[in-house]
């Protein structure tokens, strides 16, 4: 989860935003034929999509960490099984699943660098697409100190906005993007976009719980996270508050719900004047968080 500035990826989605059925369809195809993505012709038949969409499905499986590939073969990860397997939520019926998929994408700096940057580093509440592109271009040149073509960066910005923005008039290719339902990015009717921090009382507490649990388990030596870092980031770790576009009030209200629902997983303390979230003595693993949730939902 921590950003490694030497490992970056742009444009591998083939300009296709994630669609509702793609992750589950890809995982089911891998279960039947682990080598399916190594044979594009077979994959086109199995998945019922064109060649470029096959590549896009494989990419989104990798970005979300729900499948891994090596030597021309692939398989569902433990995360993929817990989240989208038969005991999870394969049809994305639980809204928490969408928020967790969003977190997995926006927290993946290595495979979805542009998405990581937008949700963790880009702070303009109102903007036009060209301002996003200019910001990403500056980030790539100044902070990553690498070169990427303008066409590649434009593709990332355009795909992200189409994937997250609800629109009355969508092209058929982007009609079925689940991320638009999260209301994290909105169109301002030809005047640009907005992506603003808010309280988001409708956001399932499970999403923040999963993100915090994953953050603590990725950095086991870290006993506590400053609330400011969880809200704004500022280092190379993804910040749940930024990824979920939560205001400070929204983060604290959602955290209170998490602490009520999942006792002894976290403690909120002031240490030397710094508001911090401490790992509790009952902190689950990210996989256990998912398994326990879906067992309760499906049980």
Q: Is residue 280 part of a domain?
A: yes
Q: Is residue 142 part of a domain?
A: no
Q: Is residue 23 part of a domain?
A: no
Q: Is residue 21 part of a domain?
A: no
Q: Is residue 253 part of a domain?
A: yes
Q: Alpha-carbon Rg of the chain, whole angstroms? A: 19
b/e per residue, 184-193, with b = 16+ CB within 10 A?
bbbeeeeeeb
* Long-range Cβ pairs for the range 60-66 (8 Å, 24+): 60/13, 60/18, 60/22, 60/23, 60/26, 61/23, 61/26, 61/27, 62/111, 63/104, 63/105, 63/108, 63/111, 63/112, 64/23, 64/101, 64/104, 64/105, 64/108, 65/104, 65/108, 66/23, 66/27, 66/104
10-residue block means of pLDDT along the chain (299 residues)? 79 94 96 94 94 96 97 96 97 97 97 96 95 96 92 95 78 69 91 96 98 93 93 90 98 97 94 89 94 85
- Structural domain of 263: 205-298
Provide the pLDDT for residue 6.
77
C-beta of residue 246 within 8 angstroms of C-beta of residue 257: no
- When divided into structural domains, the chain yields a total of 1
Check which CATH number belongs to the domain holding 236 and give it: 1.10.10
Q: Is residue 8 part of a domain?
A: no
pTM, full prediction: 0.95
Q: Is residue 248 part of a domain?
A: yes
Residues 6+ away with beta carbon under 8 Å from 31: 76
How far apart, in whole angstroms, are the C-alpha atoms of residue 272 and residue 85? Answer: 44
Q: Is residue 118 part of a domain?
A: no
């Amino acid at each position: 989860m921590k950003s490694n500035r030497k490992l970056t990826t742009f444009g591998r989605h083939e300009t296709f935003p994630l669609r509702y059925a793609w992750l589950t369809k890809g995982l089911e195809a891998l279960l039947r034929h682990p080598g399916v993505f190594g044979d594009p012709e077979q994959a086109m038949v199995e998945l019922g999509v064109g060649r470029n969409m096959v590549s896009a499905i494989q990419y989104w499986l990798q970005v979300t960490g729900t499948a891994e590939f090596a030597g021309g073969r692939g398989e569902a990860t433990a995360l993929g099984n817990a989240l989208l397997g038969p005991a999870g939520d394969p049809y994305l019926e639980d809204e928490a699943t969408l928020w967790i998929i969003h977190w997995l994408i926006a927290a993946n700096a290595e495979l979805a660098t542009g998405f990581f940057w937008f949700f963790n580093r880009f702070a303009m509440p109102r903007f036009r697409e060209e301002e996003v592109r200019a910001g990403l271009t500056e980030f790539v040149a100044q902070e990553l100190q690498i070169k990427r073509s303008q066409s590649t960066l434009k593709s990332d910005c355009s795909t992200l906005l189409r994937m997250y923005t609800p629109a009355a008039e969508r092209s058929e290719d982007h009609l079925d993007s689940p991320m638009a339902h999260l209301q994290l990015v909105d169109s301002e009717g030809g005047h640009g976009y907005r992506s603003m921090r808010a309280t988001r009382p409708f956001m399932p507490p499970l999403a923040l719980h999963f993100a915090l649990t994953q953050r603590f388990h990725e950095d086991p030596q870290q006993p506590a996270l400053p609330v400011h870092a969880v809200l704004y980031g500022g280092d190379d770790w993804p910040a749940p508050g930024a990824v979920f576009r939560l205001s400070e009030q929204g983060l604290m209200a959602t955290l209170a719900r998490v602490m009520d629902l999942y006792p002894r997983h976290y403690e909120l303390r002031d240490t030397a004047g710094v508001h911090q979230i401490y790992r509790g003595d009952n902190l689950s693993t990210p996989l256990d968080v998912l398994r326990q949730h879906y067992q309760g939902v499906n049980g």
